[in-house]
A and B are shown apart, each in its own frame.
Chain A
Amino acid sequence: MGDPGTKDRLTLEELEASGSIRTGRKHILSILVENKPGVLTRVAGLFARRGFNIDTLSVGPTDDDHVSRITITLDGANHPIDQVTKQLHKLINVLKIRDLEPSETVARELALFKIAADGTQRAEIMQICEIFRGKVVDVTKRSIIIEITGTTEKVEAFERMVRPFGLVEMMRTGEIAIARGRGET
Chain B
Amino acid sequence: MRAVEAVMECLKAEGVEVVFGLPGGANIPTYDALYDGGIRHILVRHEAGGGHAAEGYAKATGKVGVSLGTSGPGATNLVTPIMDAMMDSVPVVFITGQVKTELLGTDGFQEADVIGITMPAVKHSIMIQHPNEIPRALHEAFHIARTGRPGPVVVDIPTDLSRVDIPYEPITDVHLPGYQTFTEGNAKQIRQAAKALAAARRPVIYGGGGIINSNAAAEFTEFCRTDRFPVTCTLMGLGAYPAPDPQWLGMLGMHGTRAANYAMDEADLICCIGARFDDRITGKLSEFAPRAKFIHVDVDPAEISKNIPAHIPIVGDAKNVLVKLIAEYRALDTEAHRLDEWWQRIDGWQKQYPIEKSFTDSEDTEIKPQRLIQAVYEATGGDAIITSDVGQHQMWTAQHYPFKAPRQWINSGGLGTMGFGLPAAMGAAIGCPDKTVVCITGDGSFQMNTQELATCAQEGIPVKVIISNNGYLGMVRQWQELFWEKRYSNVDLGRFPDFVKLAEAYGCHGVRLTDKTTLVDDLKAAIATPGPVVVDVSVTREENTYPMISPGAAARDMVG
Contacts and interface: CB of A to CB of B under 8 A. Distances in A.
Interface stretch (A37-45, A70-78, A132-140, A141-149): A37-45
B476 interface: yes
Which one of A90, A93, A94 has the greatest number of beta carbons of chain B within 10 Å? Answer: A90
B302 A83 contact: yes
B177 A34 contact: yes
A110 to B, nearest CB: 29
Nearest to A85: B302
A19 interface: no
B148 to A, nearest CB: 9
Contacts of B144: 92
Interface string B161-201: 00000000000000011110000000000000000000000
A5 B480 CA distance: 10
Contact of B279 (A3, A5, A42): A3
A3 B549 CA distance: 12
Contacts of A6: 483-484, 551-552
Contacts of B302: 83, 86-87, 89-90
A49 interface: yes
A1 B300 contact: no
Interface size class of B (residues with CB under 8 A): 20 to 34
A4 interface: yes
B119 interface: yes
B126 to A, nearest CB: 9
B410 interface: no
A7 interface: yes
B473 to A, nearest CB: 10
Contacts, number: 57
Interface in B94-137: 115-116, 119-120, 123-124, 127, 129
A86 to B, nearest CB: 4
A42 B129 CA distance: 18
Interface string A1-21: 101111100000000000000
B177 A1 contact: no
A91 interface: yes
Contacts of B475: 1
A93 B129 CA distance: 16
Interface string A84-121: 00110111111100000000000000000000000000
Given A1-B416, A4-B479, A87-B302, A38 B127 contact: yes
Contacts of A83: 302, 306
A126 to B, nearest CB: 47
A52 to B, nearest CB: 14
Given A38-B127, A41-B116, A49-B120, A91 B484 contact: no
Given A83-B302, A87-B302, A93 B178 contact: yes
Contacts of B177: 34, 95
11 contacts: A1-B476, A5-B551, A34-B177, A37-B129, A38-B115, A45-B119, A45-B120, A86-B301, A89-B301, A89-B302, A92-B179
Interface of B: 115-116, 119-120, 123-124, 127, 129, 144, 176-179, 279, 300-302, 306, 416, 475-476, 479, 483-485, 551-552
- The 3 A-B pairs of least Cβ separation, nearest first, read A86-B302, A6-B483, A92-B124
Given A90-B302, A92-B124, 10 more contacts: A1-B416, A6-B552, A7-B483, A7-B484, A83-B302, A86-B301, A91-B178, A92-B123, A94-B178, A95-B178
